Structure 1
């Protein structure tokens, strides 16, 4: 009987990459005050805003009257967690827990990639892709929620119950992980995953509501958000400033947003596009006939991409979600999302140039800032369209003309595995 052997070389190489890249990210975080790195704006989110919320949450209530509090109640548990680590400042404990979540994602991807017929390319994308965002991932709680989404997808096949629970917990922290269950294979797997997601989500919400007052206060502030300068609509309005549009940029709801004529109309169009994206995803789900090994992964990436590009807000930390989901896709040799992952990596690199490196250009709406955001958002839009097209095509029944279509093709994942094995 043939047994699948895992050579230690590739895994040790990936471990070394994780250590080196995360050390570099920590170094950048320690030098956050540099003007090129945002002048302290990246780390300030943790030691000022998150720490302030921690104080409110520790007294038994969500920040109900704070316009910056726009997160589901599960985020409260994440922000309270650093207080459980003794002997550290809040900032130090938060970064340590974020690194632990990052390591958990890496370990899960490596474990998935070393299974028979799988690829370590996904782990490589996560390890090499996250540092493209510099030190930003260490100062946001998006790595933690991405970990829950990644675990949901990677456990879904073996245990739909666990996949549903992880997806629900992620949705309680930041909403979007609910989309990762969209591609669950129809039948018993879907009923089990969605059922356990509903039950565990309701139970976790009830538990949080028992200890913290006003768990739904975030809805009012979330609904009041406008058009952020980094969104597709915001980029269009920033370009319109060069054609005489009389709007301006204002800091509100925790982001730099555009105010002025026609902003409400742009926000309405964004919401309509999000509804259209949801309709397309439902149509795909209803019409899909072929479910492959990678379909749940591909559908998750596609869904989050569509909701991201149609959002009124495309903050740089959103790229953390997309990198995590793209990495999960690339653990499978049968994924159709490889070119989409390349576009996500390119968008991540450009996003870093926009924030924190050249954010003043973006705020001022200079030609350089506008073109930079146009390129970043254009890459994300192209990734979303390509992702949906490839997901739709993969859901068609395999060709009956020959058995060749059912055979896995040599791909970049195999080439990377061979290179890693040779190291």
Structure 2
């Protein structure tokens, strides 16, 4: 088949699927934003998207749809040019619903089957909005804004032939009418690569070397922000560091905002919450690495004695599942995305998202007596290997879904 991947940050969620389809004899191409500089072995076309500033007074609840549909128009015009110039006609188009790129591609290639990756469907009530009153009060205006953000997601799915969601909980955020068209297949973890390593070592930014077996607490996210519980982690940290005077704490993530609002007067949340508690911390044992190259991040997960992971009811982070596969003990928030992966006291430990005392107490116990929790680490590793392994489980199912769309 001719297969076209469309993703503004290609390869995005498809770094393994596209090469595997090529290996199986299909002809794959990609269409991505011209600003995307990520490398890929897949032949790639680019579209240019320079959105006009959106006037919220004029667009009101449609401001999000305005931006996303404009990107969809840019992608469709590029697709039309590719069709006319190259004579390219895909049998299957695979895209992400989140940025509007797939909205008008069936107008260019009506005969193509469209598979949409559906990561999350915004809803006014019951998910992230209003979950954390400190940063998302959840008033009726916010409820309507969030519901309005789903307009382009619904349109993308209505025009698709099939949808793909990475977890059952994320699929459950879709309207009931759209759930039957959705296949649940996790992105996959290479458990041959992501595995415990008793010889793992990593040099921290200050020059200190940490090794597997050391008393290390980790916290990892793309960006440090309330949606991922950074404020909860920092606020419970003084008690943990006081109780465990030898513990090293490593925090990985950028100082930008991926989800939610930016803090007043700052580009990100890192220093907002650090400044709130730094007078009660031993800063010589607290290490901020920024964003890490993947090999360094993997070594850190192999070293971690305890890995704290928190999230609003929102998209689950790959890092949590990779931490389980690498042998770290995950202490996670008792929120629906995490509860799908972790059974308390079996494959990890769960704590109420907002309970600072419980977080400090649980993490202190885990740091103090790692042998007591070895059975959980081993069970978590098995759970990921048996259910979410990339090459043996997830990738074959993804390929089968794509090939089922063959004309």
Report the TM-score, using the length of structure 1 for normalisation: 0.25
Q: Normalized per residue, which structure has more helix?
A: 1
Higher relative contact order (CA 8 A, sep 6+): 1
Q: Normalized per residue, which structure has more strand?
A: 2
Report the TM-score, using the length of structure 2 for normalisation: 0.26
